């Protein structure tokens, strides 16, 4: 068990599922848009992927740079930058697999959500994939207290920007993508819902 934890770190189980199903071929350019301290990057760093990441917290970027230095010293420190998702400086359509794990539901309002989403999606290459985990209303409709501007108070005491199934399906089309998997939502004991949204950019 210790060896498995060392290999995978604290990777999101739904992201691990994508790995298991061959969705991230060896050598892919992997980008974590909101990487935090790198909990989802340990395996990719160890396995030789071309890894980049951003987070608005400079302390988190210092930590993920140290992690990368220990596991993949070939990667330049500039691959990891303290930048907001919606205004990052990485090149358009430069990444094969982009991760957005528990990031978009921190949007302040609808405009901020769309800016964050667009700043993430523009990084995905034609034929590439966006893997997104975010809070939603799916499975617990009507159980959240609306606060306005797309934000809600959740039974777990937190406040989040929430999306619904119709919104995610519509956004998939607007982005020019297609669902790789059906939307999958975990309801956490009637306290919150977390949806996995996996979208492939059209290769054309």
* 154, two tokens: 């959740």
Both structure tokens of 159 = 């406040």
Which domains are assigned to the chain?
2-201 (3.40.50.150)
Q: How many CB atoms lie within 10 A of CB 23?
A: 18
Which residue do the tokens 């990487």 mark?
Answer: 35
> Helices in 41-180 by DSSP H: which ranges?
42-46, 58-71, 110-121, 165-174
Residue 129 tokens read as 């994939």
- Show the CA angle centred on residue 29, arms to residues 66 and 183, nearest 5°: 105
pLDDT of the chain, 204 residues: tens digit per residue? 457 777 787 899 999 999 999 999 999 999 999 999 999 999 999 999 999 999 999 999 999 999 999 999 999 999 999 999 999 999 999 999 999 999 999 999 999 999 999 999 999 999 999 999 999 999 999 999 999 999 999 999 999 999 999 999 999 999 999 999 999 999 999 999 999 999 999 997
- Full-model pTM: 0.95
């Amino acid at each position: 068990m210790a060896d498995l934890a060392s290999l995978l770190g604290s990777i999101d189980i739904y992201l691990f599922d994508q790995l298991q199903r061959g969705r991230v071929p060896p050598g892919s350019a992997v980008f974590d848009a909101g990487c935090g301290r790198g909990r989802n990057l340990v395996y990719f760093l160890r396995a030789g992927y071309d890894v980049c990441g951003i987070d608005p917290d400079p302390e988190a970027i210092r930590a993920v740079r140290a992690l990368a230095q220990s596991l993949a010293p070939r990667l330049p420190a500039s691959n990891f930058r303290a930048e907001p998702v919606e205004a990052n400086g990485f090149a358009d359509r430069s990444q094969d697999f982009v991760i957005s794990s528990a990031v978009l539901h921190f949007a302040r309002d609808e405009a901020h959500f769309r800016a964050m989403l667009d700043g993430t999606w523009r990084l995905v290459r034609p034929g590439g994939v966006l893997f997104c985990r975010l809070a939603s209303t799916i499975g617990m409709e009507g159980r959240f207290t609306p606060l306005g501007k797309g934000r809600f108070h959740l039974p777990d005491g937190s406040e989040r920007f929430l999306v619904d199934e119709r919104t995610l399906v519509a956004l998939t089309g607007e982005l020019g993508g297609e669902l790789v998997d059906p939307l999958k939502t975990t309801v956490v004991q009637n306290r919150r819902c977390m949806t996995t949204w996996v979208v492939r950019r059209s290769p054309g």
